[in-house]
Amino acid sequence: MKLIASIFFVLVVQLSWTQDSISVLFIGNSYLSVNNLPQMVQDLTQSLGDHMLMDSKMNGGFTFQSHAYDATTYTKIHAKPWNFVVLQGQSQEPSFPYDQVNQQSLPYAQQISDSVYASNGCSQVNYYMTWGRQVGDPQWDSINTFDKMNTRLRNAYLRIADSTNASVSPVGVAWKYVRDNYPAINLYAGDGSHPSLEGSYLAACTFYSSLFQKSSVGASYTAGLNPQICAILQQVASSVVLDSIPTWKLVHHDSLFNASFVAGVNQYDVLFAATTSSPGNLVWDFGDGSPVGFGQNPTHTYVAGTYTVTLFASGACGMDTVQQQITVNTVSLDDITTQWPYLYQNEQGDFVCQTRLFDVMNIEAMNLAGQQIPVSHTVNSDGTITFPYNPDIFMIRIDFDHYVLIQRVH
């Protein structure tokens, strides 16, 4: 079998669509029920011209374990295909030592999250990152100040979110900013733990920016507070969330459907292999003025040149558009100078890549469905790389420092 090498450079453009209506289930305790925070979020949302369908489960003192053992939790989760399910642990719980959180909190957060994803693959779990108490928790030296406790809570919620494939609404981070920069605004109720009305308003603004990925600045809803204070809290919450979206692991609710594709060039024929995060409809614009194509693995015939190929994908969780620029070079292996990387099969049938002047940065192998499969390789003393033969490998992609080689091998 004679392999054909081809070169193309890739530009990926992600597009997203804004949708202004979401559904949210809040699961927590008194940090939600004091001042009816879910209702405040809904009222704030409405004042900004958006819509939020909302339900809640608020049980005073409940931990992640308490919610995980309560049948009502799962009844609520399965009641609707929620865009978001917000989870909150007991106020001290995530600030406890690392191992204790891993043993007593994380497994139950995982259990609830798994139920959310099983109920609706398009749902997102979002954690309500709460704040340190006004003077910390004096029972333990490690969290006996606000800053110590707040840092523990921040780190724990981010770790739990990372472990459960979830995001975070960083109320505790916004809380610290207000404490540090606007000390005259009292965020605490009389017990130094629960939120004052100002504290709940700050939390509501943080949730709005986290769930919609929009600024709450300019909202007419004030919950009866001084409008000037509301303006400060809106600005703080918006900045904390929107300036650090990757940190909070936030994904727009209409961007859960993701698509990508690779292309293998064999002379004038290009085979495309699409991968999507869930089943969907795929439409291809091949970039040469020809009729559109459909399906996961279309083949298209080009004349030599450079083309921008666009994949339009849509599914139950949203839409995605991906573009790649490909250059079709119909150069056979015999014509390629040994200065350029190329791939061939040796007498044993294994794949060999001649690298010469280029440093290998990453290697991926894909099957016919466009799914990645494990591939091992050996770097040889002569500068070549050898891959054991695997009949499931359909295409190999090798990223060099200044070059990308994508080659169909079957």
- Give mean pLDDT, residues 337-353: 72
Please report the DSSP string for 344-409 in residue order: EE-TTS-EEEE-TT--EEEEEEE-TTS-EE----EE-TTSEEEE---TT--EEEEEETTEEEEEE-
**Which residue has better confidence, 45 or 381?**
45
Residues 142 and 98 sit within 8 Å (Cβ to Cβ) = no
| pLDDT computed for residue 164 by the predictor | 95
Is-above-0.85 flag for pTM? no
For residue 265, pLDDT beyond 60 = yes
The values of phi and psi at residue 81, to 5°, are -80, 75
pLDDT of residue 333: 44
> pLDDT tens digits, residue range 133-146?
999 999 889 999 99
* DSSP element (H, E) containing 49: none
Report the alpha-carbon distance of residue 112 to residue 118 in Å, rounded: 10
Q: How far apart are CA 171 and CA 157, in angstroms?
A: 11
DSSP string covering 89-104: --SSGGGS-HHHHHHH
Mean pLDDT (whole number) for 262-270: 75
The b/e string for 319-328 (b: 16+ C-beta within 10 A; e otherwise) is bbbbbbebeb
Please say if the pLDDT value at position 4 is more than 50: no
The listed range with the strongest mean pLDDT (255-259, 280-284, 311-315) is 280-284
The pLDDT, as a whole number, for residue 7 is: 33
Fold of 4-15+256-408: Immunoglobulin-like (2.60.40)
Tell me how far apart the alpha carbons of residues 29 and 377 are, in angstroms, rounded to a whole number.
Answer: 52
pLDDT at position 13: 32
Q: Does the pLDDT value for residue 28 go beyond 90?
A: yes
Q: What does the pLDDT read at residue 328?
A: 78
Q: Is the pLDDT of residue 266 over 90?
A: no
Q: Are 28 and 194 in contact (CB under 8 A)?
A: no
Contact 19, 278 (CB under 8 A): no
SS3 262: strand
Mean pLDDT of all residues in the chain?
86
Query: In Å, how far are 2, 70, 277, 293 from 266, measured between CA atoms?
Result: 10, 58, 27, 18
Q: Where are the domains of the chain?
A: 4-15+256-408, 21-242
Q: Using the 8-state DSSP alphabet, how is residue 335 labeled?
A: G
**Secondary-structure percent of the chain, ordered helix, strand, coil, rounded to 5:** 30, 30, 40
CB 233 within 8 A of CB 239: no
The answer to whether 216 and 44 are in contact (CB under 8 A) is yes
Q: State the sign of the Cα–Cα–Cα–Cα dihedral 46, 51, 54, 58.
A: negative
What pLDDT does residue 267 have? Answer: 62
Any idea which architecture 21-242 has in CATH? 3-Layer(aba) Sandwich (3.40)
